[in-house]
Each structure stands twice: as C-alpha cells, then as structure tokens.
C-alpha cells in the first residue's frame, strides 16, 4: 500500500489508537504518526514501547501540521479536545474520530472546527475488553467493519481517503448517517453491554451464589457477560449518556421481550420458548457465515483477547 497521509495525529492512546498505529505501520499508510494522551504515565508508556513516531506533551503540538487528526478519547472528552486543537489545524486537514456514538460527537466537535477543515466521523466495530497503550495490535481491524459518517460540506475526496485508510488497516467500510448509526449500535453493542453489566451486577448482589462459585462455574455463559462487562468504564459511561434515546428505545423493547419469556416460563409454554430460541440461534449462524465470528469452541478468541 502507498502512503495515504503524510502525517497522522492520534489523540488518546488506548486500544483503538495503538491498534491504528500498528496497523498503519504494517501497511505503510502514514509518513509520520504523532500521538498525545492526557496522562503523563500513558505518554511515558507509549514512548517506552515505540507507540507513535513522536509522542507530544499537548494535543495542539501533536496536531500541528497533521493531515489527519483522529480523536480516540471518550465521547465526553471530545468537545474539549476539539477546542484545544482547533487553532492549530491546518487548512485542508481532516478530523475524524473512533467514538461509538456519532450524533453527540458531531454536535460536540463540529461547531469548533475551522472552515476549510473536513470532518469525517468514523467508528471501528472492533475491540477487546483490554484498554491502554499496551493493548493494541495491528490485526484488531482485520475483517471487521468501520462505519463512516460523512458530514455536509466534507469533500468526497476527504471521505474517500478516510475510507481508504480504514480499508488499508484491514477493515470493511460502509457509510451511514448519524441517527441510523446510533440506533444500529444501540441494538448491536450498547444495550448488550448494559445487559451484561446488569447480569454481572446481579451475580455480585445475589449472596446465595458465592464469589468462588461465580468464578469457578462461569464457563456456563456468565463468562461472556464478564468479558463484555470488563470494558472501559469511562468510555461506556459516556456512550450511555450520549446515546440516551436510542438505548432507552432498545431497552424498552428488550424489557417487553423479557416479560414475554417470563410469561412463557411461568405458564409452561414450551412452544413459545422453542420458537424464540430457534429464531435467535439462526442470527448466531448468520454472524458466523458473515465472517464476523467463529463457531470454534473458544469462540476463536485468541490469547490477545483474554
């Protein structure tokens, strides 16, 4: 692959940013990659492991002269970062992000960007429960989807370059509008995370099941809830606060379905339960056939994924 951007700035150096750096280096997609993290400790770790060609001590310094700036910070921090970097963005530069909510990010960041700077929000649908600069790896985005959410006024050339970057890092890409994105993610990610957090919380509260039993026997399904519930708490707090309407809509639907299943169990309606589980099993098969997971006994989770 050839270089797509001469200089890329990564603001926030956690799992996604570090994986982007290694993926860009693997494919030779960027000339120089600068980085910044709010925590001095994170910056020190990044320097120690060679994450980014140059780690800067301010977001503005990292963004000076950058052709592409990617905001890899929690959704709630994006507006402040946009304010910090706006004065140094060069004309013709592109700003993007990796947030799992899009409408709130657009509302927070868009108004602060100067004229002549393109804004192309994006969301890679990839991750593990690990966080921090050491957690990234070049293969994270391979065969996963990245959703691109173009804005009015963003030149098609700027959008195409962001898409080419993600494709060069191994991802499939698709364009989507912000509101639809937020609804889709409420179904596929946000509500499932909230349910997983709740189930793990219930197990913690239910003192008749001891901690040692929860840990020893978790392979029976609880394990996968704990995996999801181990995700970064700051990021997920911001996701729910910033995708409130869509998440509440899906949780309302979930509650209705749950009540229907409760009723079927209470009344011994095995036919309803069997039909429901048959339908949901087919969705799992579709995900495997789409290449988005595997039916291997360990779910194909490698050592990196925990």
pLDDT 10s digits, 249-283 = 999 999 999 999 999 999 999 999 999 999 998 98
Superfamily of domain 5-176: NAD(P)-binding Rossmann-like Domain (3.40.50.720)
Domain covering 180-267 in this structure, CATH number:
1.10.3660.10
For the segment 234-258, what is each residue's pLDDT rounded down to a tens digit?
Answer: 888 999 999 999 999 999 999 999 9
Q: CA 183, CA 123: separation in Å to the nearest integer?
A: 14
Q: At what angle do helices 191-205 and 244-267 cross, to 10 degrees?
A: 60
Quote the DSSP letter at residue 293: S
Q: Which residues pair with 69 in a beta bridge?
A: 9, 95
Which residues neighbour 31 within 8 Å (Cβ) at sequence distance 6 or greater?
Answer: 3, 5, 6, 7
CA distance 279 to 90: 52
Q: How far apart are CA 90 and CA 116, in angstroms?
A: 8
φ, ψ of residue 146 to 5 degrees: the values are -120, 125
5-176 and 180-267 share one fold: no
Q: Where are the domains of the chain?
A: 5-176, 180-267
- Please, are residues 70 and 52 in contact by the beta-carbon 8 Å criterion? no
pTM: 0.87
Burial (CB count within 10 angstroms: exposed 0-12, middle 13-18, buried 19+), residue 52: buried
Task: List pLDDT tens digits, range 59-87.
Answer: 999 999 999 999 999 999 999 999 999 99
Residue given tokens 């008749």 in the structure block: 208
**pLDDT on residue 194:** 92
Closest by CA position to 199, among listed 228, 156, 236, 166 = 228
């Amino acid at each position: 692959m050839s270089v797509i951007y001469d200089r890329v700035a990564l603001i926030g150096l956690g799992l996604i940013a570090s994986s982007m750096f290694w993926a860009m280096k693997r494919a030779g997609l960027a000339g120089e990659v600068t980085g910044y993290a709010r925590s001095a400790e994170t910056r020190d770790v990044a320097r120690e492991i060679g994450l980014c060609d140059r780690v800067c001590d301010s977001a503005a310094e990292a963004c000076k002269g950058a052709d592409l700036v990617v905001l890899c910070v929690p959704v709630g921090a994006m507006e402040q970062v946009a304010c910090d970097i706006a004065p140094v963005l060069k004309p013709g530069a592109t700003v993007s992000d990796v947030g799992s909510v899009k409408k709130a990010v657009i509302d927070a960041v868009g108004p602060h960007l100067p004229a002549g700077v393109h804004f192309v929000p994006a969301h890679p649908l990839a991750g593990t429960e690990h966080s921090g600069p050491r957690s990234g790896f070049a293969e994270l985005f391979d065969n996963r989807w990245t959703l691109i959410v173009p804005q009015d006024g963003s030149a098609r050339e700027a959008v195409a370059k962001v898409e080419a970057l993600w494709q060069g890092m191994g991802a499939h890409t698709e364009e989507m509008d912000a509101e639809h994105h937020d609804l889709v993610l409420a179904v596929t990610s946000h509500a499932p995370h909230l349910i997983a957090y709740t189930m793990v919380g219930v197990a913690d509260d239910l003192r008749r099941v001891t901690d040692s039993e929860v840990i020893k026997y978790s392979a029976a399904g609880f394990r996968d809830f704990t995996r999801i519930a181990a995700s970064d708490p700051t990021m997920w707090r911001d996701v729910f606060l910033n995708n409130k309407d869509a998440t509440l809509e899906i949780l309302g639907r979930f509650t209705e379905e749950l009540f229907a299943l409760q009723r079927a169990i209470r009344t011994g309606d095995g036919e309803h339960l069997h039909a429901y589980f048959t339908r949901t099993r087919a969705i799992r098969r579709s995900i495997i056939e789409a290449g988005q997971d595997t039916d291997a006994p360990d779910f194909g989770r490698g050592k990196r994924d925990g």
